[in-house]
Amino acid sequence: SRAISPDFTKCGPVDLPPHAITPPYCCPNLPIPFKFIDFKDYIIANNNNSSRSSGAIIRVRRAAHLVDDEFIAKLEKGISMMKSLPNDDPRNFIQQAKVHCAYCNGGYPQKHPFQDQKIDVHRSWLFFPFHRLYIFFFERILGNLIGDPNFALPYWNWDSIQGMQIPSYFTTPNSSSLFHKLRNYKHMPPQLVDLNYDILSPKIRTQDQQVSYNLAFMYKQMVLANTKELFMGSPYRLGDSAQPGPGSVEFAPHNTIHDWLGGVDTPNHEDMGTFYTAARDPIFYVHHSNVDRLWELWTKLEGGRRDYRDDPDWLDSEFFFYDENLNLVRVKVSTVVKRPKKMRSKEEKEQEEEVLVI
Ligand code: C2O
């Protein structure tokens, strides 16, 4: 198999843009002695746990502009708890942000004999599944800290008219854990997002023009991108060099919203505007919750579109994450996509208990 797998114990300094503003070290602490569990064993263990005896846990993600005050308070509390955990706790908010930094800025070499190639989860077919897994664990940690097993991240629904500004509860200073200083102050509500924002020459549009532009742009990126190569990005296998080519939605609105939100006075538009710091802004996770949703919607367009789920190299690509119980978990792409029926193993059928409802 030529599936990508990081050599997790060999994490090293990441590649940074010039004048980076925070220290370059993004590697997680390793369990001593080094050990990890495979996701399938993890699910079986969880299923035996009495808290699950009443059936599968279902997390329903809701649009960020439609949630109520009680939900916002929970989200705020969870992020604030993550921020106040000890610095070296893998569930700590900055530690979580570093997970993204290490996978996105070349912290991990590929496994033997391709150690010379570094792993990058952007601009290839790994983009959607990596970020799905990343926020999957983030969401579990958050739910666990606030004691709500059904907690689900909201999605910042920037593809709908009502969702085209930053949800206001991310922009109220007064010590909210959802507020973040390093952002473009010109893009706070009621400013509408430009889904195809060009950071070098931003366009001036009226609100109506921006709405029509955005809707037409979504149609282009979602509906007209009608092959897996166009939508998911290019194949990326063991031994390949990084970033073979991004898919439509990754390129924009995903990247463009990162640029749109990043600070104006920081050298690389930190935090959202550059990968090594992006996940330090809480908005990152609701942005990616929407990206995750768009992947799901795309596969269902016009009677079903094929992503790479019949390619074993894609399905067997794997990553490591810490879970809510501080276990290091090794997890494959196949865990979060449904394989064609004939390829599914018994374990995979059991894993389907873990349902993501969108
Ligand atoms: Cu790994 Cu929105 O980026």
**CA of 134, closest atom in ligand 1:** 1
Which has more confidence, 248 or 42? 248
Is residue 123 in contact with ligand 1, taking CB distance under 6 Å? Answer: no
Rounded mean pLDDT of 104-111? 92
| pLDDT for residue 55 | 62
- In this structure, is residue 3 part of a structural domain? no
| pLDDT for residue 341 | 62
> What is the widest separation between alpha-carbon atoms in the chain?
59
Query: Considering the chain, what is the average pLDDT of its residues?
Result: 91
Q: What is the pLDDT of residues 153-201, one digit of tens each?
A: 999 999 999 999 999 999 998 789 999 999 999 999 999 999 999 999 9
- In this structure, is residue 349 part of a structural domain? yes
| pLDDT for residue 46 | 64
pLDDT band of residue 45 (cuts 50, 70, 90) is low
Looking at the 3D structure of the chain, how many domains does it have?
Answer: 1
Residue span of the structural domain in which 151 resides: 8-357
| pLDDT for residue 38 | 93
Spatial separation of the C-alpha atoms in residues 142 and 71, rounded to whole Å: 13
Spatial separation of the C-alpha atoms in residues 272 and 282, rounded to whole Å: 10
CA of 48 to the centre of ligand 1 (A): 34
| pLDDT for residue 54 | 53
Is residue 180 in contact with ligand 1, taking CB distance under 6 Å? Answer: no
| pLDDT for residue 26 | 93
Active site residues: 100, 122, 131, 254, 258, 275, 288
CB 322 within 8 A of CB 137: yes
Q: What is the pLDDT of residues 77-96, one digit of tens each?
A: 999 999 999 999 999 999 99
CATH number of the domain enclosing 236: 1.10.1280.10
pLDDT over 60 at 349, yes or no: no
pLDDT band of residue 348 (cuts 50, 70, 90) is low
Report CA Rg, the chain: 20
| pLDDT for residue 53 | 47
- In this structure, is residue 292 part of a structural domain? yes
The sign of the dihedral angle between the CA atoms of 218, 275, 285, 312 is: positive
Comparing CA positions, the residue from 108, 116, 99 lying closest to residue 12 is 108
CA of 345 to the centre of ligand 1 (A): 31
CA of 100 to the centre of ligand 1 (A): 8
Which has more confidence, 242 or 47? 242
Does the model's pTM come out above 0.90?
A: yes
Q: What is the DSSP letter of 227?
A: S
Give the bridge partners for 331, in sequence order.
319
pLDDT band of residue 336 (cuts 50, 70, 90) is confident
Q: What is the pLDDT of residues 276-320, one digit of tens each?
A: 999 999 999 999 999 999 999 999 998 788 899 899 999 999 999
Distance of CA 250 to the CA centre of its chain: 11
Lowest mean pLDDT among 25-29, 111-115, 203-207, 336-340: 336-340
Is residue 82 in contact with ligand 1, taking CB distance under 6 Å? Answer: no
Rounded mean pLDDT of 28-43? 87
- In this structure, is residue 12 part of a structural domain? yes
- In this structure, is residue 122 part of a structural domain? yes
pLDDT over 50 at 128, yes or no: yes
For 332, the enclosing helix (H) or strand (E) is strand 328-332
CA of 53 to the centre of ligand 1 (A): 35
Is residue 258 in contact with ligand 1, taking CB distance under 6 Å? Answer: yes
pLDDT band of residue 41 (cuts 50, 70, 90) is confident
- In this structure, is residue 2 part of a structural domain? no
pLDDT over 70 at 347, yes or no: no
Lowest mean pLDDT among 42-46, 68-72, 99-103, 110-114: 42-46
CA of 292 to the centre of ligand 1 (A): 11
**CA of 130, closest atom in ligand 1:** 1
Is residue 228 in contact with ligand 1, taking CB distance under 6 Å? Answer: no
| pLDDT for residue 15 | 87
Is residue 100 in contact with ligand 1, taking CB distance under 6 Å? Answer: yes
Percent of the chain at pLDDT above 70?
A: 90
- In this structure, is residue 1 part of a structural domain? no
Q: Whose CA is nearest to atom 3 of ligand 1?
A: 275
Residue 128: what are its φ and ψ, rounded to 5°?
Answer: -65, -50
Q: Which residues contact 12 (CB under 8 A, 6 or more apart)?
A: 27, 107, 109
